[in-house]
Structure 1
Amino acid sequence: MSPTRTVELEGHIIDSGTMGRCFSLVMDLGGSFEVEEFEIGRHKHEESYCRLAVSADSEPELREIVHELHQIGATLSDPADATLERAPEDGVVPVDFYSTTNHPTAVRYEGEWLAVENVEMDCALVVEPGDSGDDAAPRAYTKVLNAVEEGDLIVTGDTGIRVDPPERPRDGENTFGFMQGGVSSERPSESLIGEIADAIAETKADGGNVLAVCGPAVVHSGGAGHLAELVREGYVDAISAGNGFAVHDIERDLYGTSLGMDVETLEHPRKGHKHHIYTISEISRQGGIEQAVENGAIQSGVMYECVTNDVPYVLAGSIRDDGPLPDTITDSIEAQNAIREQAHDADLVIMLATLLHSVAVGNCLPSTTKLVCVDINPSTVTQLMDRGSAQAIGMVSDIGTFLPMLADELADAE
């Protein structure tokens, strides 16, 4: 007799496509299924329910199928507590550790479901049992592998794990209801930018946090002044960027150029190609960006507005960096942790013309965080989604065209 497991699906599993994906996945992996119970939600806000008996030729094949079903929201009908095993060394996890998705997750411990804190993809799951003497409740949270400590209780296997992928809205009432098609260059830019502006304004009105992830093209294309305006007006709560973005933003203030090109006339002044390294030298002489603003050496730009308006920023270093600026975090693990802290605080992230930095930040975001990516290259969003940021929605646009239109829409909304 073929080994069999019973799994359950709940929610808007028909119109979201979850049920169809589950059926296809079982067949693609060589298994079979039988629908034991199926209840259809017949009204807009009613959920559906499906119970499947899933079979395979062997236990290993069945475990693989159940694991894949689990990743898209299916749960075992008779869940047991999660299996826990202690980490043998610092930075080392058990062989069969559970690698997290970026979806809301719960862990079953002593018969209770614990909501996982700081949800992030590609992490280990740690359970703290709590202390009855101090009335401390048990907790479950993610840890990146390099942060795992010897003795941590690590979840292994798929038992006792519940994943809840976000579902597509059934109506257009949600501000992000327009974001259902991934990336497209066919949509009317003006109306789409208006809806992105509405989403930012709504997030701010609800007391939410907006994170902007910025590439040097923001400055090269002439969009830095408009981004600076958004920071000044309180629409951006944090900036995540690389050394290059900050250098060229400050270069624009000091010399009127970006990467040696005059941002107004598009001409290349004499010695313009040296302006970025002169900029780094001057900021180092001042002691850093904040000191340069306080000393009056920097008088405009995105970094100026961040310092003036107490908007935090993280500048993550790269092996390609010149200088770098004193404010740039050159230790990659330290930079990751700083980005992770920003990402966990964000309710909406807008990624502006930067592939590598967008992927880095996207890796730290839970799938419940609203994410908009604007780039002239549609493959930027494709790569984000391929890395697991399935909630990423893209707009194909020159960033120098997008930012002034976004600033105008937000100004009109006030």
Structure 2
Amino acid sequence: MSPTRTVELEGHIIDSGTMGRCFGVVMDMGGSFEVEEFEIGRHKNAETYCRMKVSADSEPTLQEIVHELHQNGATLSDPADATLEAAPDDAVVPVDFYSTTNHPTYVRYEGEWVDVENVEMDCAIVVETEGSEAPRAHTKVLNAIDEGDLVVTGDTGIRVEPPERPRDGDSAFGFMQGGVSSERPSESLIGEIADAVAETKEEGGNVLAVCGPAVVHSGGADHLAELVREGYVDAISAGNGFAVHDIERDLYGTSLGMDVETMEHPRKGHKHHIYTISEISRQGGIEQAVENGAIQSGVMYECVANNVPYVLAGSIRDDGPLPDTITDSIEAQNAIREQARDADLVIMLATLLHSVAVGNCLPSTTKLVCVDINPSTVTQLMDRGSAQAIGMVSDIGTFLPMLADQLVDEK
């Protein structure tokens, strides 16, 4: 007799595509299913329930199918408590540890579902049972695991809730259906993004801007600086290059040696970026350079002047780098992670490297907009699990002025 498991799906599983995906998972992986109960929601806010029996030729195959179903929001009809196993050493997880998605997740402990805190993809789940009245479950990256941590293993006692399609058409976030297209009207889409930013701020939320050097090269830095100054951006995540070119533009009027206004390359302009790094190092850092009057404009100036925090994560190719750049990759990841946890809306501006880095730290419930002239940037972001991203194919030098106009002029 073939091994079987009974799983349940509940919610808006038809129009969100969840039910179809789960049916496809079973068949694609060589299993079969039988729907035992199906109750369809018959109006906009009604939920649908489906219980199905899943079978496979072998227990290992069935376990693989159930794991994939689990990632798509299915749960066993008779859930048991999650299996916990102590980590054998620092930075070492037990074999068969549960690797998280970026979706809201719950673990079952002593018959109760416990919300997993700080959800992000590709982490372990640690359950703490001492030191508080109630158990606490939270994610940990593998290098942060301590010997003896109680780590969730297998798929038993875990519930995942993938986000569903927004059902309120009047919300500013109703346009965030995921996907990328170069054919959507730019002006109307930018207006919707502006509405989303304004709504986030009105509700007391935080907006994180993830920036690449092209923001400066394309002439968009003044408009991003305006958004920081006017309170529409609460934090900046970028690399050494973005900050250097932004400050270079203030000191020399160039970005990577090119005059942004005339597109000309002044004499010795190719040395301006390294001169900039030297000057900021001499000043003792970006904040000190602003306080000393050495920097008088730009995005980094507005961040310091308006107490907007920033994280500059370094890379192997950085010149200098600036004293403010975090050169330890693990330290930089942790700093990005702290930023991501505070963000309610993230706007990624012309940077594949930092978009993927930040996207990896975001739960799927965080609203995400990615703007790039290259549609593959958004495609890669979504392929790595940030399925909630909406992409806009646009030159960043066109996008930022229009966004600033929509927000600041209508304020």
Pairwise TM-score range, normalised by the shorter structure? over 0.9
| Aligned-partner residue type, residue 322 of structure 2 | L
Q: Give the Cα separation in 2 of the matches to 1:255 and 1:160.
A: 59
Corresponding residue of 1:390: 387
Q: 2:230, 2:408 within 8 Å by CA — same for their partners in 1? A: no
Aligned partner of 2:267 in structure 1 is 270
Segments ≥4 residues shifted beyond 2 Å: none
Aligned to 1:288: 285
- Counterpart amino acid of 2:117? E
Residue 374 of structure 1 aligns with an amino acid whose one-letter code is V
Query: What is the Cα deviation at residue 179 of structure 1?
Result: 2.2
Matches within 5 A, 1:317-336: 317-336=314-333
User: CA-to-partner distance for each residue in 1:251-290, whole Å, 9 max, x for gaps?
Assistant: 0000000000001111000000000000000000000000
1:357-384 CA-partner distances (Å, limit 9, x unpaired): 0000000000000000000000000000
CA RMSD of aligned residues (A): 0.7
Question: What CA distance in whole angstroms lies between the structure 2 residues aligned with 1:181 and 1:288?
Answer: 39
What is the Cα deviation at residue 411 of structure 1?
1.7
CA distance in 1 between counterparts of 2:135 and 2:167 reads 36
1:248 paired residue among 245, 259, 279: 245
Q: Deviations over 1:300-339 (max 9, x none)?
A: 0000000000000000000000000000000000000000
1: CA distance between counterparts of 2:218 and 2:360? 27
Equivalent residue letter for 1:350? I
TM-score, with structure 1 as normaliser = 0.98
Question: Does structure 1 conserve the Cα–Cα contact (< 8 Å) formed by 2:178 and 2:388?
Answer: no
The residue correspondences of 1:167-186 to structure 2 (distance < 5 A) are 167-186=164-183
Q: Which residue of 1 aligns with 2:351?
A: 354
How far the C-alpha of 1:171 sits from its partner, in A, is 4.5
Q: Is the 8 A contact 1:225 1:301 kept in 2?
A: yes
Aligned length, in residue pairs: 411
- 3-state secondary structure, aligned to 1:371: strand
Name the structure 2 match of 1:369: 366
Structure 1 counterpart SS, 2:7: strand
SS state at 1:413 partner: coil
Gaps of 5+ in 2: none
Identity of aligned residues (%): 90
- Cα distance in 1 for partners of 2:228, 2:133 equals 40
**Cα distance between partner residues in 2 of 1:181 and 1:306:** 30
Q: Distance in 2 between matches of 1:171 and 1:352?
A: 27
2:236 paired residue number:
239
Aligned twin of 1:302: 299
What SS does structure 1 have at the residue aligned with 2:237? strand
SS of 1:357's equivalent in the other structure is: helix
Deviations 1:139-194 (A, max 9, x none): 00000000000000000000000000000123522322212250011011000000
> Which residue of the partner structure matches residue 43 of structure 1?
43
Whether the 8 Å contact between 1:15 and 1:170 is mirrored in structure 2 is no
Match for residue 254 of structure 2 among 243, 252, 257: 257
Distance (Å, rounded) in 2 between the aligned partners of 1:11 and 1:366 = 19
The 2-side partners of 1:413 and 1:148 are apart by 48
Structure 2 counterpart SS, 1:46: coil
**1:187-224 Cα distance to aligned partner (Å, 9 max, x none):** 11000000000000000000000000000000000000
